[in-house]
Structure 1
Amino acid sequence: MITAIAFIVLGFAAMEFSGWFIHKFLMHGPLWVIHKTHHQPSKSFFELNDLFSVLFGSVAIVLILLGVSELDYRFWMGMGISLYGFLYFILHDVMVHRRLKWFDRPKNSFLKGIFKAHQAHHKTNQKDDAVSFGLFVVPKKFFKNEEK
C-alpha cells in the first residue's frame, strides 16, 4: 500500500513539474499557436488549448491500462496523473476561469495564492511576458496577505 501511495504521489508530482516545463518552454514557445487560445477571450466553452488536457489524460489512461493487470507502478502513476488532472480541472477550469460556475472565489489562503498566481499569468496575452507557470507550485509572493 505504501508503494502504491508513493507512485501516486510521484505521478502527481511528475505532472506538476513536467507541466511547468511544458507550459513555460513549449506552450509559451513553439506550441503557442495552440496555447494562445487560452490567453484570448473565447465565445466557446472549448478552446484549442484543451488538446493539452486530452494529451495528458491519454498518458494517464495508457499507464493505467498497461499496469491494471498487475496493479504495478504504471497503474498507480496513472492514478496520480489522473488525480492531478481532476484537481487541475477543479482549480483551473472551474475555480479560476469559471468555465463552470460551481464555486465562488476562493477564501482559503492557499487557493487564493494559486488564484492570484494564475491571474498574474494572464495579465498578458503575449507569448513572452507571462509569469507563474505551475498550478500548485507557485512563487511565494502570491501567498502574501492581501488587502482586508
Structure 2
Amino acid sequence: MDTVLAIVIVLATVLAMEGVAWSSHKYIMHGFGWGWHRDHHERHDRFFEKNDLYALVGAAMSISMFALGSPLIMGAQAWWPGTWIGLGVLFYGVIYTLVHDGLVHQRWFRYVPNRGYAKRLVQAHKLHHATQGKEGGVSFGFVFARDPAVLKQELKAQRERGIAVLREAVE
C-alpha cells in the first residue's frame, strides 16, 4: 500500500505542477519576474537565457521537498511524503525540459511534429509567443495545450480590447 500511495503522490504532484507552472508563468514570469523571463520572448543567439534561472527555482523546490522527507536531514521530524513530492517536482522538471525546451523551442533536438498532440502543443506555445511584451497572451501552461483555434480567437479579442500587441496578425 505504501508503494501505491507513493506512486499516487508522485503522479498527483506532476499534475499539480502544471498548475503551479501555469500560475507562476502568468503572474510571476509575466509580472514582477519579467526581468528574468523577457529574453525568452526575444530573439537572441545565446545558449542560456536569464529565463533559465527559473529552472533553479524548480530545482530548489524539489530539493527542499527531498530534504523535508529525508530522515538523514530531518531525523525523526522527516515528513515522508516530502520525498515523493520532491520526486514529482523533479519528474515535472524533466518533462518541462524535454517538452518546452526540447520540442517547442528545439534547444536539445530538432523535431517538428506535423500531427497529434505534439503539434498542438507547439502551436499553442507559438501563439503564446505571438504577443510583444508581458501584457496579454494565451497558453501559459507548458504541458497541457488548449485548441489553437480557440487561442487565436482569444488573442484577437485581446488585440481588439487593446490588451495585447501582436507580433503579427494571428487570425
State whether TM-score is above 0.5. yes
Instruction: Give the share of equivalent positions with the same residue, in percent.
Output: 33
Kindly report structure 1 stretches of 4+ aligned residues shifted beyond 4 Å: none
With structure 2 as the length reference, what TM-score do the two structures score? 0.76
- Taking the TM superposition and a 5 Å limit, the aligned residue runs for 1:12-91 are 12-69=14-71, 72-91=80-99
Q: 1:106 to 1:71 in 2, by over 3 A?
A: farther
Distance in 2 separating the partners of 1:136 and 1:111: 10
Q: Check conservation: 1:114, 1:142, Cα contact below 8 A.
A: no
- What residue ranges of structure 2 are gaps of 5+ in the alignment? 72-77, 151-171
Residues 1:4 and 1:108: Cα distance change in structure 2 (over 3 Å): farther
Secondary structure class of the residue paired with 1:94: helix
What is the deviation of 1:71? 8.3
Aligned partners of 2:16 and 2:145: how far apart in 1? 15
Residue pair 2:99, 2:143 contacting (<8 A) in 1 also: no
Shift in CA distance, 131/37, structure 1 to aligned 2, threshold 3 Å: same
CA RMSD of aligned residues (A): 1.9
Read off the aligned partner of 1:95 and give its amino acid letter.
Answer: L
Moved more, 65-74 or 108-117: 65-74
Take 1:142 and 1:89, find their aligned partners in 2: how far apart are those partners? 26
Partner Cα separation in structure 2 for residue 20 and residue 28 of structure 1: 11
Structure with more relative contact order (C-alpha pairs < 8 Å, separation 6 or more): 1
Q: 1:135 aligns with which of 138, 142, 145?
A: 142
